[in-house]
Amino acid sequence: MAAQPVPKVMKQGKLVPWLYLAPSILIMTLFIVYPMINTIGLSFLNKDGTASAATTCIAGKACWGIFENYHYALTSELDTTSFGSFWSTFWGSSYGNTLKWIIFMVSGTVAIGLAFAVFADRIKYETLAKAVIFMPMAISFVGAGVIWKFVYDFGTQQVQIGLLNSILAAFGQKPIAFIQTPGINMAALIAVGIWIWTGFCMTILSASIKSVPVEILEAARVDGATEWAIFWKIMVPIINPTIIVVITTMVINTLKVFDIVYVMSGGQFGTDVIAVRMYREMYKFFNVGHGTAVAVVLIVVIIPFIYLNIKRFIEQEAIR
């Protein structure tokens, strides 16, 4: 299970490795480990971290005592009077929206990325084609936000300078305020996310597809299998581990989505997500307790993926 054994001749004093490690460990402890613990602590305190969260309870209203910030973080957006109202408010909350992001962004990026990788594998201008799909990865989310805001532009006058609305106009349809219309705006924002991240999925999946032995594919073709069957019955099972890695990575990326929403809609019009909400609680309302509680909710959701990552790493090391 251990990593590569160190050669005998390279044994060294006990202190030497720690000299090499010290700067990194110090900085990571200071900037990741300590703040994480501190954040958890702060989430049980009031808005400026001076007293217990229990003191913020309002008399006569439901109170979770020291967990009051979590009471706020988890339920303030929801209407829990009945299951129906809970259900409908959940899908409009930052949690419901984040879940929508995960469902559509992950399936969208993986599906398009995989399909494109398969198709691009058969053409001569593959490198160029892949570079185009991959390019948004180099652009900032802010830049991408501006690019797409322009595509979605909604003119109040007759002229539509936004590409999508002018296409609608060409077909005689009424223009749509893509960013302001609830429901449509979530799709519009997620489309931007897909535009950015598909290149990432495509690149990794493409490398995996290329590692599928050509002989197996040729043999199946000789036996008369259709390309569709070859894809589902041979290719997908072989690259399945990579697909799972890509999916987990994408789920984590999606959970943290901030910039796109912040720039394009500011979390308004029913497009709020966890990360934007956390930022707002902390830096607009200056409520440390609420902000950190939302952050802790986020890390709790991510913990299973941390576990998966470590588990995968240990398995990989065992093979080496």
Partner 1 sequence: MNRERINKLLNRVPTHFIVILTILIWIIPTIGLLITSLRPLQAINTTGWWTIFSPPTGSQQYKQSCAVCHGVDGNALPKANLTDPAVVNQFPRSLSLLADLRKNINGQPHMGSTPLPSEQDAANIISYLKQISGIQVQPRFTLNNYIDALVGYRGTNTYTVDCAKGTQATDLHCNLSDLLNPRGMGRAFVNSLIVTIPATFLPILLAAFAGYAFAWLDFKGRFALFAVLVGLQVVPLQMTLVPISRIYAQLHLNGTFLGVWLFHTGFGLPYAIYLMRNFLGSLPRDLFESAYLDGASHWTVFRRLVIPLAMPAIASLGIFQFLWVWNDLLVALVFLGGTTPVMTYQISNMVTSLGAGWQLLTAAAFLSILLPMIVFFSLQRYFVRGMLAGAVKG
**Chosen residue from 52, 75, 160, 180 binding partner 1 by CB under 8 A:** 160
**Chosen residue from 159, 187, 216, 219 binding partner 1 by CB under 8 A:** 159
Least distance CB 23 / partner 1 (angstroms): 5
Judged by CB under 8 A, the number of residues near partner 1 is 104
Contacts 24+ apart (CB under 8 A), 303-312: 305/248, 305/251, 305/252, 308/248, 309/248, 312/245
- Rounded Cα–Cα distance for residues 131 and 101 (Å): 25
Q: Is 120 in the site for partner 1 (CB under 8 A)?
A: yes
Per CB under 8 A, the segment of 52-60, 67-75, 97-105, 133-141 that binds partner 1 is 133-141
**Chosen residue from 65, 219, 256, 315 binding partner 1 by CB under 8 A:** 256
Q: Which of residues 78-117 bind partner 1 (CB under 8 A)?
A: 112, 115-116
**Chosen residue from 54, 63, 66, 129 binding partner 1 by CB under 8 A:** 129
Q: Is 285 in the site for partner 1 (CB under 8 A)?
A: no
Q: Is 284 in the site for partner 1 (CB under 8 A)?
A: no
Least distance CB 67 / partner 1 (angstroms): 18
Q: Is 140 in the site for partner 1 (CB under 8 A)?
A: yes
Q: Which of residues 47-66 bind partner 1 (CB under 8 A)?
A: 49
Q: Is 314 in the site for partner 1 (CB under 8 A)?
A: yes
Indicate the Cα dihedral angle 52, 58, 63, 64, nearest 10°.
-20
Q: Which of residues 177-216 bind partner 1 (CB under 8 A)?
A: 195, 200, 203-204, 207
Q: Which of residues 291-310 bind partner 1 (CB under 8 A)?
A: 291-292, 295-296, 298-299, 302, 305-307, 309-310
Instruction: Pick the closer one to partner 1 by CB: 17 or 182.
Output: 17
Instruction: Pick the closer one to partner 1 by CB: 62 or 132.
Output: 132
Q: Is 132 in the site for partner 1 (CB under 8 A)?
A: yes
- Rounded Cα–Cα distance for residues 177 and 247 (Å): 32
**Chosen residue from 136, 178, 261, 273 binding partner 1 by CB under 8 A:** 136
Instruction: Pick the closer one to partner 1 by CB: 170 or 214.
Output: 170
Query: In sequence order, what DSSP letters do the residues of the chain get, joined into one string?
Result: --SSPPPGGG---SSHHHHHHHHHHHHHIIIIIHHHHHHHHHTTB-TTSSSBGGGGPPTTS---GGGHHHHHHHHTT---SSHHHHHHHHTTSHHHHHHHHIIIIIHHHHHHHHHHHHHHTTSTTHHHHHHHHHGGGGS-HHHHHHHHHHHT---SSS---SHHHHHHHHTTPPP--TTTSTTHHHHHHHHHHHHHHHHHHHHHHHHHHHTS-HHHHHHHHHTT--HHHIIIIIIHHHHHHHHHHHHHHHHHHHHT--HHHHHHTTTTTTT--HHHHHHHHHHTS--HHHHHHHHHHHHHHHHHHHHHHHHHHHHHHHH-
Q: Is 69 in the site for partner 1 (CB under 8 A)?
A: no
**Chosen residue from 44, 95, 141, 178 binding partner 1 by CB under 8 A:** 141
Per CB under 8 A, the segment of 70-78, 97-105, 230-238, 280-288 that binds partner 1 is 280-288
Q: Is 27 in the site for partner 1 (CB under 8 A)?
A: yes
Q: Which two tokens stand for residue 258?
A: 């901030």
